[in-house]
């Protein structure tokens, strides 16, 4: 067998190969040293030869993560321009470590090295390998662009043109797409506009991709190009252009412009357009008026559409908008009329609606109208249409219990008992009722827990890893777990997290015991973001089991950043567990969290709010510091609680949606029970936000305050 063939098919031969090409004087001899760390330090300082020697030694020293050593050897070869060594390490990875996180980056680097060496066919074959293996990989745009440049150099311009065009409309938000457009214009279209050379369907696809990546203004520019050339378009395609641009305008909250566009579309469609297109355009017009708070036009357009198409899918969607309009306005009588009309419709026509949710809405409107027997009937029907113990089921059962109480029915307690669950807001409300308690929506300082202990804080870190290794039996889960453990021992925290996540992904069936293992490991390493979602991998029965295990529940509801939280809560007089409940929802304890709206850090504080609370200049970067963020977040939240008479559901609504919106909701709802007020919050996001935090708070108190 030749040397090259041996290297390809016997991975241990690569170690011999490397020893042969590196002088023995630089081979390390310290068996207990952290060879990877030493090699990294030398690599960063530019001492490639000695760095490589440490990486070679680590091949045998750390067999569970051999690919990490090979990747570092590959990087030294790349930096040296040693194509031969790079090929050998890449072949080893490809043959034995296809699951390695470094396999994809190495394919790209190998393709680049071949390109730089003028080996275009080898580069093309390698880059195509990446494109087929990682079609959604993080480097796919870079790979496709490099592949096209290589194809052009190799005189394969037709194939390059197809890939460049696909890159242009599939990844329009990227720098690579801009580069692809420049190449297409230069190499194929003599400097002309690419839009005149691609099919309309491709341009519409580009618009859709821009909207998916929230580049709405850019998508509008593309739609405008199509409008400029609308004479070439069929009515069907033109309808898609109108609807697409209208959607982008709505996303930018330019509802007036969107409504003008939809009106223009309806005129174009006239009596010759498809009926479904006319109905859709009518619904979109009504929705634009609804979202833009143009009440007069909304009622005029929507009622006309419902009268004309009351039984069509879009007619029913428009009827639901009218129902929401009257519900939000507090007009119970008219809201009842429209929800009742929908429920009388053939159920096949309501396929786009959640039947259980629609029945609940009808029940709630009857509840607000004080028709408690009818509300009870509808809530029970909603529960019967829901998955038992699911969120909708518990919601329906809870409100059925409330309606039963109001109507003097004797079975209220039995209804609450049916909805008891420790995994949802409504399940916890039912549990309180069964135990003759009601959720207090005001913080009571006398009920604070003092200094709760976290069980996991007293557990030895290494002990948990050892216990976990014994419980994880075999398969890919064990493979990735061992890799994570080795990386942790060597001090590579981010790599450790990556391999732990791979272990979780490779586990098909999760039980509460497995959740306990992995959640502990993540939390002990300070990674709350990956620990908490593990609960969602469980069935409802396993969730209940997990939440009844105090050890697991403390891991999923941790006392994160507790020293800061306790310090500032004591000065403001609010419960630290309440603040932790907010923090868990806002950032999942990620101090680096940054929302699309610009909210920062653990408590998702807006910079403008921070300046107002801080009363002196403060930079956005300061808000990433846990101490600063918690101080400002607690101060602001405490102020909202005090301004609203201690009512936490009001304070939470204002924290999420703003104080002016809270004032509007209070005015429309009048004097009502807190549970009722929460259901009447018109922003779905805020309504769910308040429920989740109250659910978090109940869970925190049940864990740490018994």
As a whole number of angstroms, the distance between CA 480 and CA 495 comes to 11
What is the DSSP-derived secondary structure letter of residue 434?
Answer: H
Of 122, 361, 542, 586, the catalytic one is: 586
As a whole number of angstroms, the distance between CA 456 and CA 466 comes to 15
Instruction: Respond yes or no: is residue 91 known to be catalytic.
Output: no
- Residue 134 · residue 125 · CB < 8 Å: no
Neighbouring C-beta atoms of residue 230, cutoff 10 Å: 12
- Residue 233 · residue 241 · CB < 8 Å: yes
Q: Is 594 helix (H, G, I), strand (E, B) or coil?
A: strand
DSSP string covering 351-385: TTS-HHHHHHHHHHHHHHTT-HHHHHHHHHHHHHT
As a whole number of angstroms, the distance between CA 367 and CA 364 comes to 5
Please enumerate, as own/partner, the contacts of 493-497 that have beta carbons within 8 Å and a separation of 24 or more: 493/525, 495/68, 495/101, 496/525, 497/522, 497/525, 497/527, 497/530
Angle at 428 between CA 424 and CA 431, to 5 degrees: 140
As a whole number of angstroms, the distance between CA 119 and CA 117 comes to 5
436: left (phi over 0), alpha (psi -120 to 50) or beta: left
Using CB atoms within 10 A of its CB, is residue 417 exposed (0-12), middle (13-18) or buried (19+)? Answer: middle
Using CB atoms within 10 A of its CB, is residue 24 exposed (0-12), middle (13-18) or buried (19+)? Answer: exposed
Dihedral angle over CA of 116, 118, 119, 123, nearest 10: 40
Q: Is 156 helix (H, G, I), strand (E, B) or coil?
A: coil
What is the DSSP-derived secondary structure letter of residue 453?
Answer: P
- Active site members: 586
């Amino acid at each position: 067998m030749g040397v090259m063939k041996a290297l390809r098919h016997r991975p241990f031969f690569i170690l011999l190969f490397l020893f042969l090409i590196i002088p023995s004087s630089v081979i390390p001899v310290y068996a207990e040293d952290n060879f990877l760390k030493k090699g990294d330090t030398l690599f960063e300082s530019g001492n490639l030869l000695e760095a490589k020697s440490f990486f070679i030694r680590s091949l045998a020293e750390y067999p569970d993560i051999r690919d990490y050593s090979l990747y570092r050897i590959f990087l030294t070869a790349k930096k040296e321009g040693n194509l031969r060594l790079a090929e050998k390490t890449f072949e080893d990875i490809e043959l034995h470590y296809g699951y390695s996180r470094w396999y994809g980056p190495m394919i790209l680097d190998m393709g680049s090295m071949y390109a730089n060496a003028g080996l275009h066919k080898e580069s093309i074959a390698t880059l195509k390998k990446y494109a087929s293996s990682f079609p959604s990989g993080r480097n796919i745009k870079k790979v496709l662009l490099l592949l096209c440049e290589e194809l052009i150099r190799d005189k394969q311009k037709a194939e390059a043109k197809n890939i460049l065009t696909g890159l242009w409309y599939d990844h329009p938000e990227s720098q690579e797409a801009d580069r692809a457009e420049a190449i297409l214009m230069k190499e194929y279209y003599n400097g002309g506009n690419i839009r005149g050379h691609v099919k309309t369907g491709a341009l519409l696809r580009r618009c859709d991709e821009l909207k998916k990546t929230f580049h709405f203004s850019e998508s509008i520019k593309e739609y405008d190009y199509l409008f400029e050339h609308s004479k070439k378009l069929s009515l069907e395609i033109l309808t898609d252009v109108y609807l697409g641009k209208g959607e982008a305008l709505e996303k930018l909250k330019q509802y007036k412009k969107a409504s003008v566009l939809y009106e223009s579309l309806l005129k174009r469609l006239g009596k010759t357009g498809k009926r479904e297109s006319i109905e859709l355009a009518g619904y979109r017009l009504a929705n634009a008026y609804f979202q833009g708070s143009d009440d007069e036009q909304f009622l005029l357009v929507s009622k006309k559409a419902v009268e004309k198409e009351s039984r069509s899918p879009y007619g029913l969607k428009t009827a639901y908008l009218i129902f929401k309009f009257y519900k939000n306005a507090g007009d119970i009588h008219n809201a009842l009329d429209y929800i009742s009309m929908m429920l009388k419709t053939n159920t096949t026509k309501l396929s786009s609606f959640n039947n259980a949710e629609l029945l609940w809405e009808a029940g709630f409107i009857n509840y607000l109208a004080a028709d408690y027997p009818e509300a009870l009937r509808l809530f029970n029907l909603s529960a019967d249409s829901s998955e038992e113990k699911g969120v909708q089921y518990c919601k329906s059962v809870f409100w059925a219990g409330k309606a039963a109480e109001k109507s003097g029915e004797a079975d209220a307690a039995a209804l609450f008992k049916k909805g008891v669950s420790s995994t949802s807001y409504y399940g916890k409300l039912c549990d309180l009722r069964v135990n003759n308690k009601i959720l207090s929506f005001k913080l009571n300082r006398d009920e604070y827990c003092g200094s709760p202990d976290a069980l996991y804080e007293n557990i030895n870190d290494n002990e948990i890893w050892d216990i976990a290794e014994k419980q994880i039996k075999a398969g890919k889960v064990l493979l990735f777990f061992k890799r994570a453990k080795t990386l942790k021992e060597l001090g590579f925290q981010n790599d450790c997290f990556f391999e732990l996540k791979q272990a979780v992904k490779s586990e098909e069936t999760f039980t509460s015991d497995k959740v306990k293992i992995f959640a502990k490991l993540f939390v002990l390493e300070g990674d709350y973001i990956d620990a908490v979602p593990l609960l969602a991998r469980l069935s409802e029965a396993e969730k209940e089991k997990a939440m009844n295990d105090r050890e697991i529940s403390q891991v999923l509801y941790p006392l994160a950043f507790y020293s800061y939280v306790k310090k500032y809560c004591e000065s403001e007089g609010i419960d630290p567990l309440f603040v932790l409940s907010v923090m868990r929802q806002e950032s999942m304890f990620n101090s680096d969290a940054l929302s699309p709206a610009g909210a920062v850090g653990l408590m998702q504080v807006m910079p403008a709010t921070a300046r107002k609370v801080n009363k002196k200049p403060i930079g956005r970067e300061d808000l990433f510091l846990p101490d600063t963020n918690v101080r400002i977040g607690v101060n602001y939240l405490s102020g909202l609680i005090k301004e609203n008479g201690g009512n936490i559901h009001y304070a939470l609504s204002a924290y999420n949606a703003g104080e002016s919106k809270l004032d509007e909701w209070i005015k429309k709802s009048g004097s009502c029970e807190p549970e009722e007020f929460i259901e009447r919050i018109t922003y779905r996001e805020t309504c769910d936000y308040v429920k989740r935090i109250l659910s978090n708070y109940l869970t925190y108190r049940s864990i740490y305050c018994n």
